[in-house]
Structure 1
Amino acid sequence: MDMLSILGVIIGFAALIGGNFLEGGSWQSLVNGPAALIVIGGTLGAAILQTPKTNLRRALQIFSWIFRPPRLQFQKGIDTVVSWAIAARKHGLLGLENISESEKDPFSRKGLQLLVDGSEPEVIRHVLETDLLVAEKRDFDAVHFYESMGGYAPTIGIIGAVIGLIHVMKHLTDPAQLGPGIAVAFVATIYGVAFANLLLLPMANKLRQCIREQSHFRELMIEGIIAIANGENPKVIEMKLSGYLH
């Protein structure tokens, strides 16, 4: 569990509610069901409308990364590659066949299979880098779903405020209802701006960081596998890959 993500959400909304309280308002003044329905429903509908089915499915799959990002242990990855290099030096590239069959990570398993098949280093690099770029693009396209929600939310909030003001205009003959009515109308604007800047856009940026780190880890694996294909010494491979720790 990423406690910084949880802490960020708590601090952001606590600041919003606390500032309202210090201004003399109450938390009840920020609660408005119709405004929430307009902002959340309208934003979600607009984002779904523009998002292809595959991207939407992937966006929902990686949502958990916000609070449970992939655990990428770079030192363990280096140790794993070095163990492969040692096995290849002792038993040849065919000695990696059993290791490739038991490897859980599909990306690493594909690289090992290419090694076992005796593929040229340039071919291995091209195949793995293509897989990396395709996976990275797929995930970035999925993140755009949350970015689009962050872009639509403030505008939908304004629409909600205008709808509220339309109802307020019906009571112009009753000044006692104008003040509270206008206040409620602008709650929709607060919802739109707050959800966009305190939740949706930070979520999208957090997911982008997770994707970049995952790509960085896969670059490490590519360099390690290419080094094994070139027959480099395991110690040299370890020293080369140690740069990914910084």
Structure 2
Amino acid sequence: MDLATIIGIGLAVFSLLISIFIEGGSLGSLINVSAGILVLGGTFGATMVCFPISAVKQMPRWLAVALKDRKTDIHEDIAIIVTLAETARREGILKLENMVEDLENAYLKQGVNLVVDGTDYEVTKAIMKTELELMEERHSLGAKFFETAGGFAPTMGIIGTVMGLVNVLGHLSDSGNLGGAIATAFIATFYGISTANILWLPIAAKLKSRSNDESLAREIIMEGVLSIQAGESPRIIGDRLKSFLPPDERQKSVGHEVHA
């Protein structure tokens, strides 16, 4: 599990509850089944309208992506690319065919196969770029889904509060329960705002972060494959690929001694 996501959500919920207890409230005062049904059901219902059913079915997978710890080892990718470049420089491009099956990264494997097959440089670049753009589009759909939910949730909360206040105004004669009824009416707004800012919007941001990491990894792989195809020096390739990384990351060893 991704500790940052789990701890972050846990800390937000804990802080929220602690602040309520400090103000003299109780957990029981926050429980309102009808408000919960309206906010959660209304939020997901409205969100579903905005997306095809095929996208809605992917929501559990998107949640898993946000919650699981999925690290992309860019340094390892660079090391593998440099190794491929050295092999191609010493023994020729066709020698890479013997190394393709050992590659675990599907995107890198696809690129090396294109090079081994003698695909034109511009065609290889276009195919790999298209794959990258399609991946980014798929990933952005998940982030947009939760962003949309985060936009609808507060509105659904306000709708619930308005409904509650309408009910309160209809029973003004019962002045003894007026304060409690008004407080209950605002629970829906609380649900809407809290779920949007503690769950839906942070999950959307996490999915964007995951997508950015994978996009960077694929950009490095694409640049590496094209550099191999162009016959560039392994040392130059390694330095160029590390230039994609932040300055404090470039000094890390890629686990491979590059020979020019």
Structure 1 stretch displaced more, 89-98 or 199-208: 89-98
Could you say which residue in structure 2 is the equivalent of 1:209? 209
Q: Are the aligned partners of 1:75 and 1:245 in contact in 2 as well (CA < 8 Å)?
A: no
Partner SS for 1:245: coil
What displacement does 1:65 show? 2.1
2:45 aligned partner = 45
CA distance in 1 between partners of 2:2 and 2:70 (Å):
10
Amino acid at match of 2:7: L
- CA-CA distance at 1:165 after TM superposition: 2.0
5 Å-filtered alignment, 1:113-132, equals 113-132=113-132
Q: What are the ranges of 5 or more consecutive residues in structure 2 without an aligned counterpart?
A: 247-260
Structure 1 pair 215–59 and aligned structure 2 pair: CA distance change class (3 A): farther
Asked if 2 retains the 8 angstrom alpha-carbon contact of 1:69 and 1:210, the reply is no
Q: What letter matches 2:80 in structure 1? A: T
Question: Deviation at 1:240?
Answer: 1.4
| Paired residue secondary structure (2:99) | helix
- The more displaced of 203-212 and 67-76 is 67-76
Q: Structure 1 residue 51: deviation in Å?
A: 0.7
- Greater helix content: 1
Deviations, residues 130-161 of structure 1 (Å, cap 9, x unaligned):
11011101211232110100000001001111
Deviation string 1:48-100 (CA, Å, 9 cap, x unpaired) is 11111333344432222222243200110111101111222233222122322
* Structure 2 residue 7 is the aligned partner of structure 1 residue 7: yes
Q: Deviations over 1:159-209 (max 9, x none)?
A: 111222233234321111111111111000000011111211111011111
**1:191-206 residue pairs with structure 2 within 5 A?**
191-206=191-206
For this pair of structures, how many residues does the alignment match? 246
TM-score (norm 1): 0.94
Distance 1:94 1:166 in 2: 76
How far apart, in 2, do the equivalents of 1:234 and 1:4 lie? 37
Structure 1 stretches (4+) deviating beyond 3 angstroms? 57-60
Per-residue CA deviation, residues 110-132 of structure 1 (Å, 9 max, x unaligned), is 10110111122222111101110
Question: 2 CA distance for matches of 1:38 and 1:55?
Answer: 22
Alignment correspondent of 2:95: 95
TM-score of the pair, normalised by structure 2: 0.89
